[in-house]
Amino acid sequence: MEEIRIHGRGGQGSVTLAQLLAQAAHEEGTWAQAFPAFGVERRGAPVEAFARFDETKITDRSQVDEPDYVIVQDTSLLEYVDVTDGLNEDGLVLVNTDADPEELDIETDAEVVTVDATEIALQHLGRPIMNTALLGAFAGATGLLGQDSMEAVITRKFGGEIGEQNVAATNEAFSEVSA
């Protein structure tokens, strides 16, 4: 089973990202689950969301405490959230930033990958909504999700021109991180 934990802020779409991850994994033919850390946090407060992929039906309902992958939507969180807590040392941290991994203050044996998802989003969508770019980057960095699956899910969710823009953002992030 692959377990993913997303760190973000209320309003940044952590839940949407978890949902897209689960839907894309499901599109690949695996079982998937996504859920938020249930709370009453308002816009701007630190939040978490989780996703799991597995070949068999996922029954575990506990929160993800020992993730294989961590996605950080906003580097300002690094100051006061221990994003690598419980992280599998063979795992991976994906951070949305224009900095290089070594410039970040993240203590971990796991691999750290960075992508400027916000910039990619601004280019393609004209707005800093970085979830589809982060989805693409996650797929590129982990190889867990294919571009076709992501495109299918995004098209279903957004449709039309916005869907196309998001697919483009996903693909650019995918290529950038894969390269």
- Taking residues 102 to 121 in sequence order and writing x for each that binds other proteins by CB under 8 A, - otherwise, the string is --------------------
**Whose Cβ is closer to other proteins: residue 19's or residue 114's?**
19
160 is a site residue for other proteins (CB under 8 A): no
126 is a site residue for other proteins (CB under 8 A): no
Kindly determine how many residues on this chain lie close enough to bind other proteins according to the rule CB under 8 A. 26
Per-residue b or e along 29-43, where b marks 16 or more CB atoms closer than 10 Å to that residue's CB: ebbbbbbbbeeeeee
Member of 9, 10, 46, 58 binding other proteins (CB under 8 A): 58
**Whose Cβ is closer to other proteins: residue 36's or residue 163's?**
36
**Whose Cβ is closer to other proteins: residue 46's or residue 128's?**
46
Residue spans of alpha helices (H) in the chain: 14-27, 117-125, 131-142, 147-158, 160-178
Q: Which two tokens stand for residue 148?
A: 């076709």
The CA distance from 156 to 40, in Å, is: 29
The CA distance from 89 to 68, in Å, is: 8
Q: Which stretch binds other proteins (CB under 8 A): 52-60, 88-96, 122-130, 158-166?
A: 52-60
Member of 45, 65, 109, 127 binding other proteins (CB under 8 A): 65
**Computed over its alpha carbons, how large is the radius of gyration of the chain?**
15
60 is a site residue for other proteins (CB under 8 A): yes
Member of 4, 6, 17, 32 binding other proteins (CB under 8 A): 32
62 is a site residue for other proteins (CB under 8 A): yes
57 is a site residue for other proteins (CB under 8 A): yes
State the burial class of residue 125 (Cβ atoms within 10 Å of its Cβ: 0-12, 13-18, 19+): middle
The CA distance from 138 to 140, in Å, is: 5
Beta strands in 10-88 (DSSP E): 31-36, 46-54, 69-72
Residues near other proteins (CB under 8 A): 18-19, 22-23, 26-36, 38, 40, 56-63, 65
